[in-house]
Amino acid sequence: MMNAISLGIPVLAALIGALLFRSGMELAAAVWLGACLVALAAYHSYFLRRLTHWAGLPKMRDVPVGIAAWRRPMDRIARFMRRETEERNDLADELGQLRAAVDRLPDGLMLLDRFNHVEWANETARDLHGVFGSRRPVHHFLNDPDFVDYLDAGQFARPLRLGLPSRPGHTFEIRLHASDDARKLLIVRDITDQARLDAIRSDFVANVSHEIRTPITVIGGFAETMLELELDTGEQRRHLESIAKHSQTMQRLVEDLLTLSSLESAIDKPADETIELDRLCSSLVADARVLSGGQHTIESDVPPGLRLLGIGAEIESAIRNLLSNAVRYTPAGGRISLEWVQKNGEGAVVVADTGIGIPAEHLPRLTERFYRVDRARSRSTGGTGLGLAIVKHIANRHGAELLIESKAGKGSRFTLRFAPARIIQPEFVPDPATTPGDAP
């Protein structure tokens, strides 16, 4: 329609001119056609000027609306610009989301140019290293000498571990990835937990080696002596007793290590069962009396018929460890008790003694593997240094709490406190549907 009008108007103007000319009004025809040409030129130059003005605007504005012959090109330019704007907005949105995600990464990221100047850093890196602005040398922010050497050496296959002044007590790992255009991506990751685990693991290996070396050296020494020297029967017997004693120590150590490792694996955790706690305690107290050899008074007070939901072998091992410690750390003539204490629905197995006690500063570390207050006493009584670590693990697996109260020279009290859901009172018959994890 617009095209017909834009074509029709010049044709009509030309027809009018021709009619005027044929009617003998040549001057009027010439004036008319001249006026039409001027109007046409003015129309085109007006829209051309508007378009030129629009294209020169610093900010994107709406395309001017054209009329007649200018309508269609103007519409097309407007549509093209709209599409471009939409695509640009989508791209900006995506870029914004990407930046927000990269900023939220727990790792610090920095992009370095070929001269090791920071081109860009995510929020974590800005926080960690105090990065501000851009195009500043990276060592302005990370000036640890080890890092500077690492950067200079250019050997980025292995990461670098270091601490940062902005996060005291944390350990970080730095990785650098070089690209073809000599830029580098620097990634900083907080590996405090992993470093702590590595330290625990290597301490553990060192401790186990140390614990095993002592009995092995003793066994080897006695065996060599027996091979090299002519000993009388009494001496031979004493040597063999020592060999047997140290091989038992090693055996206990290996058993405790295996127990710890199975307690640490959550995969093959046995199902809970109903433990007849009163019977278990009686048999454990009988064993403790044998261990004591009549040197202590050992009493037990557990209500008959009391039952507990848990892993039988583990609960037995925990109480056995506590009783064995009580016997080993209580001088002859002392008293030891094993009792069941119930309060506010919660129940606890309490092992108390009147033994040597533990100075307060050692209490927080007692459940660490191989932690001992008196190394010599622990060894001489056959201790492995793993007993309380085992008890603590067992308590955790039962959602129970291990409380240690002690006074040096006065005695100790170890409490294993269980939640009400694990306790079955003597007269109460449990409904299997409501008791947690009962064995089928």
Which residues would be at the binding site for ligand ADP (CB under 6 A)?
321, 325-326, 329, 353, 355-358, 366, 371-374, 378, 383-389, 412
* Distances 215 to 244, 259, 386 between C-alpha atoms, Å: 10, 20, 16
Of 275 and 358, CB closest to ligand ADP = 358
Report the C-alpha gap between 158 and 167 in whole angstroms. 23
CB of 139 to ligand ADP, least distance (A): 48
Of 310 and 383, CB closest to ligand ADP = 383
CB of 212 to ligand ADP, least distance (A): 15
CB of 248 to ligand ADP, least distance (A): 13
Report the C-alpha gap between 42 and 312 in whole angstroms. 103
Of 124 and 415, CB closest to ligand ADP = 415
Q: How many CB atoms are closer than 10 A to CB 362? A: 15
CB of 359 to ligand ADP, least distance (A): 10
At residue 430's C-alpha, the angle toward residues 424 and 431, to 5°, is 150
Q: How many CB atoms are closer than 10 A to CB 172? A: 22
CB of 405 to ligand ADP, least distance (A): 11
Of 66 and 383, CB closest to ligand ADP = 383
Of 46 and 371, CB closest to ligand ADP = 371
CB of 354 to ligand ADP, least distance (A): 10
At residue 208's C-alpha, the angle toward residues 204 and 211, to 5°, is 135
Of 259 and 321, CB closest to ligand ADP = 321
Cα dihedral angle (285, 287, 290, 294), rounded to 10 degrees? -10
Report the C-alpha gap between 286 and 281 in whole angstroms. 9
CB of 391 to ligand ADP, least distance (A): 8
CB of 412 to ligand ADP, least distance (A): 4
Of 412 and 415, CB closest to ligand ADP = 412
Strands 167-178 and 273-276: unpaired
Q: Are 17 and 40 in contact (CB under 8 A)?
A: no
Q: Are 308 and 428 in contact (CB under 8 A)?
A: no
Please name which of 160, 158, 157, 154 lies closest in space to residue 182, comparing C-alpha atoms: 154
CB of 112 to ligand ADP, least distance (A): 51
In single-letter form, the type of residue at position 21 comes to F
Q: Are 339 and 395 in contact (CB under 8 A)?
A: no
Report the C-alpha gap between 152 and 160 in whole angstroms. 13
Please name which of 184, 124, 130 lies closest in space to residue 152, comparing C-alpha atoms: 184
Of 138 and 322, CB closest to ligand ADP = 322
Q: Supply 207's token pair.
A: 């401790």
Q: Are 420 and 345 in contact (CB under 8 A)?
A: yes
Of 347 and 357, CB closest to ligand ADP = 357
